[in-house]
Amino acid sequence: MALLSVLRRWHFRDGMPIREIERRTGLSRNTIRKYLRLDTDEPRFRVPARASKLDPFSEKLAGWLRSEAGKSRKYKRTAKQMHADLVVLGYGGSYGRAGFCAVLEGGPATRAAAQRPWHLSPAGVYGWRSLPV
């Protein structure tokens, strides 16, 4: 995460006002000021360990995903079909849960990553993209 370096570059080198940085990143002005005053490279967040509603079904879901991996797209079950099968087994979570989608897609679904309107390209250049809806 290179958020602090981007904020510092925009503010100190490019002379961008804090309000413009606020508009571009979606962070509050107080948060931007706090990050500009930090002596560290990156902020550290404590994330408490929580049990997921998917934990009791993780082995079953992993087995389904392994068996579906070898099939062509036409014959694979969709995430909606897998969710319906989990509901029959007793899963009480919703289909739209970010955790359920992250398990199926195999990637992290963090709230902070979804809220950032910029990304780092392979060349190290920051670009703008639209937020996922």
DSSP symbols for 33-92: HHHHH-SSSS----------TTGGGHHHHHHHHHHHHTS-GGGSPPHHHHHHHHHHHT--
pLDDT digits (tens, 9 = 90+) for 44-94: 667 778 887 878 888 888 888 888 888 888 888 888 888 888 889 998 888
Domain locations along the chain: 3-43, 55-105
Q: Please name every residue paired with 119 in a beta bridge, in sequence order, or none if there are none.
A: 127
Note the pLDDT of residue 116: 46
The span from the CA of 24 to the CA of 129, in Å, is 11
The predicted pLDDT at position 56 comes to: 86
Q: Report, in angstroms and rounded to the nearest whole number, the Rg of the chain calculated over CA atoms.
A: 20
Residue 29: the pLDDT is: 92
Query: Residue 102 — very low, low, confident or very high, per pLDDT cuts 50/70/90?
Result: low
- pTM of the predicted model, to two decimals? 0.43
